[in-house]
Each structure stands twice: as structure tokens, then as C-alpha cells.
Amino acid sequence: MFRILLPVDLSESTTNACQYALSLAAAVPDAHILLMHCFQDYLADADPDTPSTAGLSPSDVVTERVLHRNEAEAQQQFDALYESLLSRTRSTAGHVHLDRTFIHGLPEDRIPEQIERFHPNLVIMGTKGESNLARSFFGTVTTKLVQDIRVPVLTVPQHVEAHRISRVLYATDFDATDTQTIADLLQLLEPLQPVTYCVHVSEHSDKKDREKLAALQQELQSSTGGNVHFMLLEGDNVADTLQDFAKKESIDVLALTTRERDILASIFSPSLAKKLVLHAELPLLVFHSEA
């Protein structure tokens, strides 16, 4: 069974992330989506049960009522989203199993816990505009997830239209873990049978780069089949070169690997990594490597 954990924050990016998850799940013979929302209110008491108002001042009573009304509204919005997605799965993808969980707490704490229980093959998260993405990806939630969990994370920009993944771009810097990561990528997306481009970007393609790429191709020859193409790209700006190639080849997903706790530093300087993520016009699939 192909398991997708779908954390949502009920913002504008939620709808597109959900549509993308449904589209991906529909292409898999046996899929299970767990829709998840973490309710957090920094002013609320840690106890999710409605507290007694005995002994509270009138202003405190009003505050408690507002906090619990916010929770009730979030629960209603989440339930409505679930029912809408459930209706869609029944009409267009009857084989997709959809569940939900509404949890109290911070996403960066609760999502890893849910991963331990659900054992997903993939985590899908929606991203918004530049400012919100900078906050989420390089701030707390997504950054912490990519650092701490060992499950691939697919971030979906708010404007990307959901469709079947048919063309994937994996950017390599000839790291020792690339062979395993590419194998994991192919296994993850195997039900979709996408065409995969494994590319390396450098200012000037030289003999050493060609030898490294040939060695990588040789290592993967037995498992890649005919749907993987290995290429060298020339360019002085890695992010721009990758995005230009992605547009030219109609790439659906850009895949990267993180090293240790250094976010996206495997093939990019921090400034290039941030530029690529903030301005990417396609979903980003992030793998984690301990090497």
C-alpha cells in the first residue's frame, strides 16, 4: 500500500496540496491518504478539554470562549475539507482510502509522531507565496521535518495545477549517496513510471564530470531501465540552469537530497538553495541522507 501523510493548515495552499495528493494517489493501485491538521493556539491552555470558568475574571471567561470557538471553527473547516475530499475519492478514485486526524499541538512535534504511527511513503505539504514559504521552509515546520525525519517530503506550490507526475528532474552533485537516493526515487514513483532526468550542473563540463556521470549511470544500470536519462548541463547559476531545463523539458517534479542537517546544501550554496525553493514553479521532492 502507498501511504501519503497530508498535513494541512487550512490556508489557501491547502486546496492545491490536497488536489495534488488525490491526483497522485489515484495513479497508484492501492493508496491510503491520512489528512492531518494540528490545531495550535499559543494563547490556549495545553489541556484540549474545555476548562471550567469557575474563579475566572469576566475578561478571562471571554478569552476562554474565544479560544474554544476558534478550535470549533477549525474542526468544522477540517471536517468540511475531509468530506469534500471523500466525495471526490468516491467519484473519481474509489480505490483510494482516506482517513483524517485532528490533533492538538505544534506541527513540528505532531507530524513526526504521526509518521511513526502511520509509516507513510511520502509526506505532502502545500506552500504559499515567497514570504510564507521562507517562513515555513527555512523557519520551523518543513525545515525541521526535512532535518529530523527519514521520509521523503513533497512541497507543492500554491499555484501548481495537480496532474500526473510523468517527468522528474533529479539534481546530482555526484555525492556518495546519490546511487541510493535515485534508487529510492525510482521505487517511490515506480507506479507512475515517469521519465527521470539525472543531471549535474557546472560552469564548464569537463572530462572528470563526464567520468563521474558515466560511473553513476553504470551503478544504476541494472535498476533504472530505459526511463532514466543522465545529462550534464553547463551554467554559472545552478538554480537558474535547473529551472530553465525544467521548463524546456516540462518537468513535473524537481528532486533533491539533503545532507545531515544542512538544508539543501548538498548541491547548492545556501543563497542558491533559498532562491531555488522560493522561486520554483514546480513541486520539490526532498530526500534525506545521513552521509
Q: Could you give the strand order of the β-sheet that contains 122-127, starting from the edge strand earlier in sequence?
A: 96-104, 31-39, 2-7, 122-127, 153-157, 284-289, 253-259, 167-171, 195-202, 228-234
CATH of domain 2-157: 3.40.50.620
Rounded CA-CA distance 17/158 in Å is: 7
Per-residue pLDDT of the chain (291 residues; tens, 9 = 90+): 899 999 998 887 788 889 889 988 988 888 999 999 999 765 554 444 545 555 556 555 555 555 567 888 999 999 999 999 999 888 877 789 999 999 999 888 899 999 999 999 999 988 765 444 444 443 456 656 666 778 898 988 888 877 788 999 999 888 888 888 898 898 888 888 899 999 999 888 788 999 999 999 988 876 666 689 999 999 888 878 888 999 999 999 999 887 654 444 444 454 444 455 555 678 888 887 765
Ordered by start, the domain boundaries in the chain are 2-157, 167-289
Whether 2-157 shares its CATH topology with 167-289 is answered yes
Sign of the dihedral defined by the CA atoms of residues 209, 277, 166, 115, in that order = positive
* 52 secondary structure, DSSP code: P
Length of the chain: 291
Q: The domain 167-289 belongs to what CATH superfamily?
A: HUPs (3.40.50.620)
Rounded CA-CA distance 269/169 in Å is: 19
Residue 77, pLDDT score: 93
- Give the distance, in angstroms, between the CA of residue 178 and the centroid of all CA atoms in the same chain: 19
The radius of gyration computed from the CA coordinates of the chain, to the nearest angstrom, equals: 21
What nine digits make up the cell of 134?
521562507
- Put simply, whether the predicted model's pTM sits higher than 0.85 gets the answer no
Rounded CA-CA distance 251/254 in Å is: 7
Identity of the residue numbered 276: L
Three-state DSSP class for 70? helix
Residue 72, pLDDT score: 87
Residue 250, pLDDT score: 93
